[in-house]
Chains A and B, each alone.
Chain A
Amino acid sequence: MKEINQRRIFDYLVKNKIENFIGVPDSTMKFFIDQGFKRKKVLIATREEEAIGIASGFALSKSNSLVFMQNAGFANSISTITSLVQLYEIPLIFLIGWRGYLKKDAPEHAKIGKIQPNLLKILDLKRKIITDKNWKTSCNWALKKLANHESCALIIRRVSL
């Protein structure tokens, strides 16, 4: 996704009362994260599950949170999503990178990239692919989910290698 739109997404979410951005970095969304650093609103965790735990502490205090991660980190997080986020119905927005979306991506991304859509589906985590064209409507969709106390995921594809 274009740098300008990644930065716009960050600013738009802040404007719409997302207060905490916690996660593990992904090159697919590096400008989004950089915008967060510029605005001093990003917390880098040691692991994705830790990030979800911290975000849950904020969410229990009624402070809206987004958790960002690579798809490798999403795979790490499955148990935390089922036994914390979904079990207690804690509303969070996930921003998950999608490496391995392109067939020519590096070998370590191939398998997880292939099964990622199915993993999201069987987890029943509602998701949308966020793009340069639809970023604002995708953000609005996620914000609405959060307002309804539901978790959801925005998926950001790695479209150039």
Chain B
Amino acid sequence: MIRKEAIRLISKEIVDDVIVSANGYISRDLFEVDDKPTNFYMIGSMGLASSIGLGLALQNPKKMIHVFDGDGNILMNLGSLTTISKLKPKNFIHIIFDNSSHESTGGQPTSTNKISIDAIAKAVNFKVFRCNSKNSLDEIFKKIKKMSCPIIILVKISKSEKISKRVSLPPKKIKSRFMKSLQS
């Protein structure tokens, strides 16, 4: 499964709940397949999607907060997993798209083909699911509906030749419509 396809399928499951998407191709794919005000597209500050998501989850306990992260992104902010786990938000689902590379910058390798993010996440008390196919994605989303958070879903993806367009919204617009959507 390529990332864009995975993002399309997961975004469809999420409907109008909040998504914080990491910078690079993750935000670009989400913008192209399912743009909506409840998406907060990061275009800089790599690594911080999980932290922004944590702040949102703590302040909006009635809303489900989803973070779309990458392997390179979460490796830059592994400490956030300990902070999230310590605070145990009940509305936090962290989806990590793992292609073992920094695809947005030319496909340079990350360490996730040698080390396991699942094991790291389990060690800090996340419930962890691993998804390798479209079918398992359906099953996982059915399962987690009855589970307590925080949850990590590690989605193994393959690299793709196709590149999505850049997020064309100005950052202030991304922010203002996102903030408005939170109030509803």
Q: Is the CB of B45 within 8 A of A79?
A: yes
Interface size on A, residues (CB 8 A): 30
Q: What is the 8 Å Cβ interface bit string for chain B, positions 23-51, against chain A (1 contact, 0 not)?
A: 00000000000000000101111011111
Cβ-defined partner of B48 (8 Å) among A46, A49, A58, A82? A49
- Rounded to whole angstroms, the CA-CA distance of A158 and B92 in the bound complex is 39
- Rounded to whole angstroms, the CA-CA distance of A53 and B55 in the bound complex is 8
- Rounded to whole angstroms, the CA-CA distance of A50 and B77 in the bound complex is 7
Q: For A50, list chain B residues within 8 Å (CB).
A: 48, 51, 77, 79-80, 83
Q: For B179, list chain A residues within 8 Å (CB).
A: 60-62
Known contacts: A45-B83, A46-B82, A89-B175. The answer to whether A61 contacts B48 by CB under 8 A is no
Q: For B53, list chain A residues within 8 Å (CB).
A: 57
CB distance from A147 to the nearest CB of B (A): 16
Cβ-defined partner of B56 (8 Å) among A20, A43, A52, A60? A60
A63 touches B (CB below 8 Å)? yes
Q: Is the CB of A56 within 8 A of B174?
A: no
CB distance from A123 to the nearest CB of B (A): 15
Question: Which of A20, A54, A62 counts the most chain B CB atoms within 10 A?
Answer: A54
Known contacts: A60-B182, A61-B60, A63-B59. The answer to whether A53 contacts B171 by CB under 8 A is no
Q: Is the CB of B178 within 8 A of A83?
A: no
Q: Is the CB of B80 within 8 A of A46?
A: yes
Known contacts: A63-B59, A87-B43. The answer to whether A52 contacts B48 by CB under 8 A is yes
Q: Is the CB of B171 within 8 A of A88?
A: yes
Q: Is the CB of A61 within 8 A of B45?
A: no
Known contacts: A60-B40, A88-B172. The answer to whether A80 contacts B55 by CB under 8 A is no
Cβ-defined partner of B47 (8 Å) among A45, A49, A89? A49
- Rounded to whole angstroms, the CA-CA distance of A20 and B83 in the bound complex is 15
Cβ-defined partner of B79 (8 Å) among A47, A61, A84, A89? A47
- Rounded to whole angstroms, the CA-CA distance of A122 and B47 in the bound complex is 24
A14 touches B (CB below 8 Å)? no
A55 touches B (CB below 8 Å)? yes
Q: What is the 8 Å Cβ interface bit string for chain B, positions 51-82, against chain A (1 contact, 0 not)?
A: 11111111110000000000000000101101
Q: For B43, list chain A residues within 8 Å (CB).
A: 83, 87
Q: Using a CB-CB cutoff of 8 Å, which residues 18-56 of chain A contact chain B? A: 20, 43, 45-47, 49-56
Q: Is the CB of B58 within 8 A of A58?
A: yes
Known contacts: A87-B171, A88-B174. The answer to whether A54 contacts B83 by CB under 8 A is yes
- Rounded to whole angstroms, the CA-CA distance of A90 and B44 in the bound complex is 14
Q: For A49, list chain B residues within 8 Å (CB).
A: 45, 47-48, 51, 77
- Rounded to whole angstroms, the CA-CA distance of A88 and B80 in the bound complex is 22
The 9 A-B residue pairs with the shortest CB-CB distance in the complex, in nearest-first order: A57-B55, A83-B44, A53-B51, A46-B79, A53-B48, A61-B59, A84-B45, A57-B56, A54-B55
Given contacts A49-B45, A53-B49, 9 further A-B contacts (CB under 8 A): A43-B83, A46-B80, A53-B55, A54-B52, A56-B55, A60-B55, A61-B55, A82-B44, A83-B43
